[in-house]
Amino acid sequence: MPSGHVEAKVDGIIIASSDTYELVEGNVYFPPSSVKSEYLTKTDLHTHCPWKGDASYYSLKVGDKELANAAWYYPEPFEKAAHIKHHVAFYKTKVDVSSG
């Protein structure tokens, strides 16, 4: 598990912040407790990864901005990805994810 502080922001508003996280394939996976759930809405989108399993998605609503399917998580990951169960990752093209 990497160490250091990470944040996810939309228009300068922090939607996730943590000192513990997982890094998988270049994506920061935030622990569920570090994500502000008031910005998240579950969607019907699901995708499949051959080694992680089936991902579910959230859309984000921050102020007047709506970002469809901007975050994902694995509710029941395969064994090799068990360490990211329920952790939330964000598309870097939609959300500013930074460390420091």
Tens digit of each residue's pLDDT (9 = 90 or more) over 46-74: 999 999 999 999 999 999 999 999 999 99
All structural domains of the chain with their residue ranges? 3-95
For residue 84, the SS3 value is helix
pLDDT given for residue 2 in this prediction: 78
pTM above 0.85, yes or no: yes
* 99 or 51, higher pLDDT: 51
- Say if residues 17 and 6 touch (Cβ distance below 8 Å): yes
Q: What are the φ/ψ torsions at residue 80 (nearest 5 degrees)?
A: -65, -20
Give the CA angle between residues 8, 88, 98 to the nearest 5°.
25
pLDDT tier for residue 3 given thresholds of 50, 70 and 90: confident
Q: What does each C-alpha distance from 100 to 4, 33, 34, 51, 73 come to in angstroms? A: 7, 20, 16, 30, 23
Classify domain 3-95 at the CATH superfamily level: Domain of unknown function (DUF427) (2.170.150.40)
